[in-house]
Amino acid sequence: MTRAISLKSVSKSYLRGTRAVEQLSLDIRPGEFLVLLGPSGCGKSTVLRMIAGLEEPTEGEVYLDGEYATDLQPSERNMAMVFQNFALYPTMTSRGNIGFPLRLEARGEDPAPRVDATARMLGIQDLLGRYPGQLSGGERQRVAMGRAIVRNPSAFLMDEPLSNLDAKLRNHLRAEISRITRELGATTVYVTHDQAEAMSLGDRVAVLRGGILQQVDTPRRVYALPVNVFVAAFIGTPRINLLRGVVRAPLDGAMSISLGRQALRLPEPLCLDHQLLRVQQGREVIVGLRSEAVRLAPRSAAGPGEVPISGLVEHVEYQGHEVLVHFNTGSQPAVVPELEAPRPQQPGRRRRESPVGVLGRLRERAGSLRAGPVVTLDRDRDAYASAEERLPTDTGDLVVRTTPDHDLRHGMQVPLLVDIDHLFVFDQHGERISPAPEHLPDLGE
């Protein structure tokens, strides 16, 4: 049996009005593997605990298979939870730990057959006679997973189950979790701050920031079409290049985005997404370029949709199969403040200018619903001085992924080609404006 899970406008507040989760609505399909992804303190574990019934929502409702379940006790939800710290009984063997839920739920029945079958699935038959103190971290996590699996639950809830393990073991158990949940077909909600886990495991990924859901979609679409700067910066390794630019759209000339000492000239005829950028004429925007959107090549090698710039080599990271090259292009990076913090700090006590007109007020309201500002521009520089001070000043503004056969040294001037088809443009509030959002706001509402 598997289970559909729905959260309807769920919020959670703690003492002194601290809001851990804010108006979150999410539908999880039966048998789906959904990953809750975000920085530490963003509310993802709180969401998991509300699904499990360990936390009661301050507002909103929880539904299981379409039926109201907000008031159900955890024991009535038929869900199994796997914790970060294993939570095994130290005085019980692995067999005892795995079979413990069965002794509570089915008194009088022999749990041995189901325990043995679960141990074979996890490959831990030889560990059944050992105590937790005699097991490695990976073995203990397998036993903890066995205790969850043996119950045949309708849903698995996993709260960063691999974060205490070393990298090699994490990769191995990640594949095991994917295989086992696929075989069992149970709905799985998996919490992590590791984007590699999220992208490799999830059917869909829900990105949270400051207790507010930013985007939920397939890993491919979250990477290819991030809804805002925060999602774009959080997903992808190395982190997306974010550069401050100004749109130039003269009536009698080519449209371009100025990046300081250089500019990206948009190829003509303009595609629809770039035509829509005309309304940003003269405004500051944030340009996003993934490391694979730029390649090392002269202007003469430019293909359709590629435009030339140049960069000064600041740093070279050799990684064996690839090289990450840090260039100085004369551009100014856009800052995503406190990306790893629970909630971005609000700007200091500086008085803000009032938004002009209806659009300005709508933008201000939309920004307030996204847990504070996503990016830092000039007017917020003083408020985020600590965030900017942490930025490296000598490693360039553009990171490009390339092959190891390029002989690059510090101080070399290198020609680059930017693939405009992979260009992101975000407005001053951090919202993606190119490629254009699928659902444009209805200004008549």
Q: How confident is the model at residue 339 (pLDDT cuts 50, 70, 90)?
A: low
Q: What is the pLDDT of residue 418?
A: 97
Q: Which residue has the higher pLDDT, 285 or 171?
A: 285
pLDDT tens profile 227-275 = 999 999 999 989 999 999 999 998 888 899 999 999 999 998 999 999 9
Structure tokens at 145: 């997973």
Q: Class of 229-344+392-434 per CATH? A: mainly beta
Q: Class of 5-224 per CATH? A: alpha beta
Decide: 312 and 411 in contact? Cβ < 8 Å. yes
pLDDT tens profile 224-234 = 999 999 999 99
pLDDT tens profile 73-89 = 998 999 999 988 878 99
- For the chain, the average pLDDT equals 85
Residue-range domain boundaries for the chain? 5-224, 229-344+392-434
pLDDT tens profile 5-32 = 999 999 999 887 788 999 999 999 999 9
Using CA atoms, how far apart are residues 124 and 142, in angstroms rounded to an integer?
8
Using the CB atoms, write b or e for 337-364: b if 16+ within 10 Å.
bbbeebbbeebeeeeeeeeeeeeeeebe
Q: What is the pLDDT of residue 372?
A: 58
| Residue 105 confidence (pLDDT) above 60 | yes
User: On the CB side of 272, how many CA atoms lie within 13 Å of its CA?
Assistant: 4
Decide: 205 and 219 in contact? Cβ < 8 Å. yes
